[in-house]
A and B are shown apart, each in its own frame.
Chain A
């Protein structure tokens, strides 16, 4: 009845047709009558006092309508960009959250910091005029590196942040023994083996292929503002516009996120540019459009990672982990972005148990301001950083003890009969089969044949290495109450409305947003499966606050686990109401009505009525229990999960290193994931491939680099090394399934897995290849240059 496209089918995607024929509708494809164009004047300095802005010349140029500055913004009462998650320091003080105005006032604090916006009749006119805006800067000393920013005498970026410290945080979940710090220190002291590492988690630029864009249209007659914007969560943007920045009533603001060309976290936030075009449109009474150039994306999109971590692992004589101590310095950039303080803390520390039974864990994190673009969630967001350090130090321990990397992991895994497992860092894991995933990954990698492959590589002058990693992550953000206790300033439930039309076709309004995730297909599969209607008779509506009641959007692999569960709850309500209507039509008791394959049936009989006929009766209620039921068939549900979900998996990577050039090539990549139940295997595989590519990018190629003072060195695709088709292998992917108990679909989430698990597997493989040369350590990205120098240093005994 589902047209063969129910849960579990690799249904080709409904959304494809418009994209493969060039008929997608992205923000920059939308044009409104009389629209004008915005171009931002951005600071070329990492740190400077603003001494004056002279827009006289720009205003005299042809086609220029206005030049607006931070002073105008202040005069109009526009609020600063909000921080949506608050963090508390060890001493009980709140994290420093400096006001972040959309256009700078007083000081600029990073290269690219918007200073003014030019509005003109054409994009070219706006751009030309922006170059004619004369800004007087008085340069200040500046710093881009977090460690340097903490040193005495470092330039102070915000008055309120002494030592440039935003927060000094330690992780003490209520379930953890209050003496975790002391216990961890004791275990480290008593360890049979102690392993320590200092690790860099390199800063990345998300680089969704569609640059950000916003088009705002204020109607002065109705007072209605419509914003088309590249967002992963249009309702959140509306909420923040209405409550924090623009301060308009919600019913007067409609935010539309149409087709969006990828996000990876970078399109979650309420950015200066979208606020500025809304404000400019309201002020000038014309639609105003801004489309980023890629260079602006490099300067203005929130960046990811950028940690420096010292980690110590204690082991007993049997190589069992007894304690883990983690000290991290996280570079937050120049301001606290929307979730900027939460990512290196509450999205990071609770995952530091990994899949192992380490009894004592103690974590501290310092969040530091620097003169760089703010950092925030990027694919994985905190979990890749946690996984990287665990899986690197576990591998280092295996190497030092001369153990097989698989064996040391097996010895420490949480076992299937130990669930639910309360980790010492606060997470309650419900499911997983870690040895099963390890075995599966070893099987598809062909683990036993490695020595032979290594010999073949050697014969060609290449060093072959094999690396393994095992990740677990928290998806499905989030249980609102838990998130609230951890500092979230919003709820994190999800919303779905199921609208059954009189003819039985179904529309779903979901608060999640698909910008590549395939919800138009997978959510329709759930409906087809549950209602027994044909897949082609289901439409998924998303990305428009005017059509969808509410929602928190798409990030943290939450859409299916939270949004799909809201959908299931709404479908259950539809079926419940349908059962009552069917009982009336069949002259039976509602309790005797079964629903399956699109038919309501009196149990044990052949008396039945089709779903479509029940829908029709709901809208043409001539024969209908009007005394008990309202007409119509439309239901809405909110779903707030009781816990996160915990996907896990094992990745094995084989690389070949050319010792003459330092070039690393991936020869084999095997991924065995446990995502719980799967709606569409083909879509899930695609998500894994994409995550792996970004993980490989981080491990081998990508690095967002600044000068020590904060000039961005990697500001275009000529300098920032993006993975291309000829850099990557084909992947071997497979799944095992232990469903989660925390949502009705039993699904865990698959969007970030690859980006979390891949980097340590690759670096472990590179080090495995290089150990015979005496190389003990390498940081990401392991570029040819970095590998070559590591080899040279080892050869010369440094």
Chain B
């Protein structure tokens, strides 16, 4: 059975028909072509699919498309405005916090939520928060470094 969902996607109002079994990640990838959100597992463990729903990080493989009706959904494609990189994107680049890039969108979207909740996380707090995002390439060392550097940069911006 198809359901009609209307929501805000990266700041624009959209609507689509989707089967009631369609996962949010499949709607984003297949209906809207937003292929920056990835699927790395089938047990809600890897976090490659993290997006924001109403500002909070969510694993989009674990949410039905129908559930975002009336919500605001933000993906990695919407994170940088007007070609300017988000401080997290900039920090990931500067600190070599990505190699193959597959986990990166989910990692950045998850970290963005962390920095909203905790603008100055310690190393342990970053590691604890990112526990739900797997990376097989970097050993997390530079990811942790980049998240903390972005926190520093955002703090300076805000002050």
Contacts and interface: CB of A to CB of B under 8 A. Distances in A.
A686 interface: yes
B139 A731 contact: yes
B65 interface: no
Contact of B41 (A26, A716, A724): A716
A260 B102 CA distance: 8
A725 B102 contact: no
A724 B103 CA distance: 12
A777 B131 CA distance: 31
A717 B108 contact: no
A22 B78 CA distance: 9
Contact of A209 (B100, B126, B141): B100
A723 B98 CA distance: 16
Contact of B127 (A17, A124, A515, A726): A726
Contact of A19 (B37, B42, B101, B127): B101
Interface stretch (B1-9, B52-60, B88-96, B151-159): B88-96
Most buried by A among B35, B93, B123, B141: B141
Interface string A667-701: 00000000000000011011001111110000000
Interface residues of A, number: 56
Interface in B120-148: 123-124, 126-128, 130-145
Interface stretch (A8-16, A93-101, A557-565, A740-748): A8-16
B66 interface: no
B140 A728 contact: yes
Contacts of B134: 209, 717, 722, 724
A294 interface: yes
A262 B136 contact: yes
A733 to B, nearest CB: 9
Contact of B99 (A25, A211, A517): A517
B42 A295 contact: yes
Interface in A189-242: 207-211
A21 interface: yes
A13 B93 contact: yes
Contacts of A293: 42
B58 to A, nearest CB: 16
A518 interface: yes
B136 A717 contact: no
A516 interface: yes
B136 A209 contact: yes
Contacts of A15: 101
B40 A211 contact: yes
Nearest to A687: B99
A726 B35 CA distance: 28
B93 A686 contact: no
Chain A interface SS verdict (over half): loop
Contact of B96 (A18, A259, A682, A731): A682
Contacts of B141: 689, 728, 730-731
A725 B42 CA distance: 20
Nearest to B135: A209
Given A22-B34, A24-B36, A12 B137 contact: no
B41 A22 contact: no
A73 B144 CA distance: 49
A717 B140 CA distance: 18
A29 interface: yes
A723 B135 CA distance: 8
Nearest to B36: A22
B4 to A, nearest CB: 19
Question: Which of A20, A29, A207 has the most C-beta atoms of chain B within 10 angstroms of its own C-beta?
Answer: A20
B85 interface: yes
A264 interface: yes
A752 to B, nearest CB: 13
Contacts of A728: 127, 139-141
B83 to A, nearest CB: 9
Contacts of A518: 99
Contacts of A25: 35
Nearest to B19: A124
B40 A22 contact: no
28 contacts: A16-B93, A21-B79, A22-B36, A23-B36, A29-B35, A209-B40, A209-B137, A210-B40, A259-B101, A262-B100, A262-B137, A294-B40, A295-B42, A516-B99, A518-B99, A686-B137, A686-B142, A689-B138, A694-B136, A716-B42, A717-B46, A724-B131, A724-B134, A725-B135, A725-B143, A728-B139, A728-B140, A754-B139
Given A22-B105, A260-B100, A689-B138, 15 more contacts: A20-B105, A21-B36, A21-B77, A22-B77, A124-B21, A209-B134, A210-B38, A211-B39, A211-B40, A261-B103, A716-B41, A722-B134, A725-B126, A725-B127, A728-B140
In the A-B complex, the 4 residue pairs with the smallest Cβ-Cβ separation, listed nearest first, are A22-B36, A19-B101, A261-B102, A693-B139
Interface of A: 12-13, 15-26, 28-29, 124, 207-211, 259-262, 264, 293-295, 515-518, 682-683, 685-686, 689-694, 716-718, 722-726, 728, 730-731, 754
